[in-house]
Amino acid sequence: MTEPLLELRRVGFDYPGRTVLTGADFALHPGDRVALVGPNGAGKSTLLHLMMGLHRPTAGEVWAFGRVRRSEAEFREVRGRVGLLFQEADDQLFCPTVLEDVAFGPLNLGRSPAQARADAEQTLAVLGLAGFAARVTHRLSTGERRLVALATVLAMHPQVLLLDEPTSGLDEATEARMTEHLIGLPQAMVIVSHDRVFLGRLANRAALLADARLLEATLHSHPHTHSHLHIHPVGEMQAGHGDGLPQHRHGHGVAEEGRDEVGDPD
């Protein structure tokens, strides 16, 4: 088995007065596309931020690309190789124009202004935003800002994508375009979303975060009867994984449409 790209080893994390994670083990390998689900407020966004070093664990270790990461300098290297799409697009966009926002990441990685501009323009084009370069970012619609925020991540050509509610605020046509683009990308991904159709098309593994525990989960859909995705917890998440997920006999007492046992995401 290949070495994990990102790994949590017995990670714990607390906010004042609240435990978010206890003894979490997780490994993201090349080719993995993990659906991260759980009740509202469970800490799914926090887990993504721990992988990026935006929060530091209160217990355990965060590994990235074969090395334990503790210091800001060590995580700075990780952020050059891992792209995080924040839950709120406005947390990612701060430049006057769309082109400046999308070129900022490549410039920060040391690319020349000409190369950063080319990367930005190419990324905007593939997301259907070719005419947006000169647009004022804060005047865009919610869905447009969401796509521009994704462009700021993709323009850096990261090895790993951490996507927090990527389809939030998108209309049907825009979501379809984003989904098709993400399906065609080679990067390993961790995806937080409540959109089960979207996850069913993109994810090949699942993890459930609930009650401060990170659990492995099976995922499957029923294309001949209904299209939404079912996710069932099967036990504590292990640092590695096999070739497939455990099999689970489905009963319609669990994860029925409108009665989802994992709840809404953060």
User: What's the pLDDT tens digit per position in 58-115?
Assistant: 999 999 999 999 999 999 999 999 999 999 988 999 999 999 999 999 999 999 999 9
Say how many C-beta atoms besides its own lie within 10 A of residue 175's C-beta. Answer: 19
Indicate if 51 and 167 belong to the same structural domain: yes
Number of structural domains (the chain) is: 2
Residue 113, CB-side half-sphere exposure with 13 Å CA sphere: 1
Pick the last residue of a domain from 157, 180, 209. 157
Indicate if 127 and 239 belong to the same structural domain: no
Indicate if 18 and 76 belong to the same structural domain: yes
What span, in angstroms and rounded, lies between the C-alpha atoms of 263 and 255? 10
46 pLDDT higher than 90 = yes
At 63 the pLDDT is: 97
- pTM value is 0.84
Domain range for 113: 89-157
Indicate if 73 and 194 belong to the same structural domain: yes
Block residue for tokens 């209904």 = 226
Say how many C-beta atoms besides its own lie within 10 A of residue 76's C-beta. Answer: 11
- 3-state helix, strand, coil split of the chain in percent (to 5) is 30, 30, 40
The CATH number covering residue 225 comes to 3.40.50.300
Indicate if 116 and 5 belong to the same structural domain: no
